[in-house]
Structure 1
């Protein structure tokens, strides 16, 4: 589980920054430590001169970048944030664009079910993911459903903006949430189907789909593998009217990461912010409990049935 999270939680709030080419393992290590010191939300919890001295001692015999990894991981452990991690060059290689899972939909009576999988950041795959998602929403909407189920189960994270772009027709325009970091707050908003971070577009395209029955009730499905950007996508629905979550508690990585690429191809994923929903509730690395908890042994049909039954209690979707 931890490895899967580390591989897929790549970018939440920005593109990976490129490191200069250090001349020695010492410079490589110092560069990585400076990134943690400058950007981590937990940076004030450490005595950095002492931490750096200990890390340099631990990596004193390193002959290359890989030899400094244990020292970097030791500092990450001291920061105490489970969402911060170091990916080796092999772990940091994204999957082929054509292999990335895309959103799908189906309908059950007067309810549409939209599955939103994780999305590992890859510019070549983003349009494929968003286009498939737009098609899934449009196809499901053709039957004029009165309510929607958004399935985030198994969504272990990645880049948030493509997920929210696909879901734009189901989200109210305006502020969806924000990132709260030590240097300030950055709001995520939706305007005309475009996901913005502090007013700047975060996806390559807007979502032009408009629902036949706007602002429907929405049931969101979660489980223990709904993590990171999967959880942030849930946060975007928190505080929305006629919206409730069903299933099991999420994984508990409700924070924003920024990825920094190191000179050997490794990536340092630094937790830079906490999530805040539209109602002002602040989240951290603790699981989000659903509004309607269901036992882990509940079958998929039973989960969908429970969500559907709730949707049928909502205005405009009362079961006839």
Structure 2
């Protein structure tokens, strides 16, 4: 009877096709999965190390002779490493060469290590001047929204004729709530662009919502825009997302920056979780400001260098008075 034989052939062909798809899928996960921290079996120290070295080939300085030499050194050390922890120690040195000073390997957090307390965002009023303290920030969505709300609500209070944005000591974290918090001082549109090789990724502000940089979050009462003079305070500890917030403000009409040059970490980082629980923070690009300036590993200078300490705040207040806000 031909029909049963034909049905069996079709069934065998179907099962063979399914088997081929499964084998191809397993092969794809085996070779590509580790780049996304997906491992079919626990890796040996050597396979783990070689996988991360391939990731480091995407670093900002990976085309340099220094990285070529460092890669060879790291690969040789990984070949004799006994544990994954040994490999992480080797990679911690290598990442600085491939990505530069903004790159690092963050060890896995142990259960008994509590995160350090963070300074809260705050707004102080002195007459018509609103001073926004914009500190470093990491946290969940609820904490990010609360951070943004504090700054945005303070800006929306009546009678504000001038603003001080204090970014001193802001070493970074999540730029989304920082920029959203000062959204009322910024125009809608592209705030800055992250440039990674040929790829360009825009940070945009649209009716109080920041997208493309950190957590996408919306500031309350962001419209209408507050068109008043803005003094920005920075110091040598203003870094990373603190510098990104500076870049969003810097170079605009009625904005003047006081203090000392920043830390010089305005480059673009990619965070990659690793098998050991460590996190690879790899610098892969630079930032293009809304004025077209490329900013990366050089400190950003203030408009007026006042030195550190209270002199920056005093100069900012004097400038705001000159602009007609007291």
TM-score of Structure 1 vs Structure 2, range by shorter chain:
0.7 to 0.9
In structure 2, what is the Cα distance between the partners aligned to 1:188 and 1:213?
Answer: 18
CA drift at 1:49: 7.4
Task: Please point out which of 55, 79, 96 is paired with 1:35.
Answer: 55
How far apart, CA to CA, are the structure 2 residues paired with 1:67 and 1:141?
Answer: 53
Aligned residue for 1:184? 199
Specify which structure has the bigger relative contact order, considering alpha-carbon pairs within 8 angstroms and separated by 6 or more residues.
Answer: 1
Q: Relative to 1, partners in 2 of residues 1:143 and 1:48: Cα closer, same or farther, differing over 3 Å?
A: closer
Q: Which of 150, 154, 169 is the equivalent residue of 1:139?
A: 154
Find the partner of 1:313 among 287, 309, 322: 322
Is the CA contact 1:104–1:116 (under 8 Å) kept in the aligned structure 2? yes
Deviation at 1:313, TM superposition (A): 2.8
Residue in structure 2 matched with residue 8 of structure 1 by the alignment: none
How many residues align structurally? 290
**Offset of 1:101 from its aligned partner?**
3.2
Supply the distance in 1 between the matched residues of 2:114 and 2:216 (Cα, whole angstroms).
Answer: 19
Go from structure 1 to structure 2 and tell me whether the alpha carbon gap of 1:105 and 1:208 turns closer, same or farther (over 3 Å shift): same
In the TM superposition, 1:170-249 aligns within 5 A as 170-197=185-212, 202-210=214-222, 214-249=226-261
Query: What is the CA-CA distance between 1:91 and the residue it aligns to?
Result: 8.3
CA distance in 2, matches of 1:77, 1:319: 46
In the TM superposition, structure 1's runs of 4+ consecutive aligned residues that sit over 6 Å from their partners are 47-50, 91-94
Pick which of 254-263 and 56-65 moved more: 56-65
Aligned to 2:178: 163
List gaps (5 residues or longer) in structure 1.
1-16
Counterpart residue number, 2:29: none
- What is the RMSD computed on CA atoms of the aligned residues? 2.7
1:103 maps to 121
Per-residue CA distance 1:237-266 (angstroms, 9 max, x = gap): 122111011111111111111110101110
Match for residue 43 of structure 2? 23
Question: 1:150 touches 1:220 (CA, 8 Å); kept in 2?
Answer: yes
TM-score normalised by the chain length of structure 2: 0.80
Deviation at 1:103, TM superposition (A): 1.1
TM-score by length of structure 1 reads 0.82
Q: Contact 1:247–1:292 (CA<8 Å) still a contact in 2?
A: yes
Unaligned runs of 5+ in 2: 1-34
Counterpart CA distance in 1 for 2:69 and 2:301 is 39
User: Which structure is larger by alpha-carbon Rg, 1 or 2?
Assistant: 2
How far is the alpha carbon of 1:93 from its aligned partner? 10
Is 1:44 the equivalent of 2:59?
no
Q: Deviations over 1:119-168 (max 9, x none)?
A: 12x3x2x3223324323432354242111100000000112112111111
Corresponding residue to 2:73 among 32, 54, 65: 54
Give 1:202 shift.
5.0
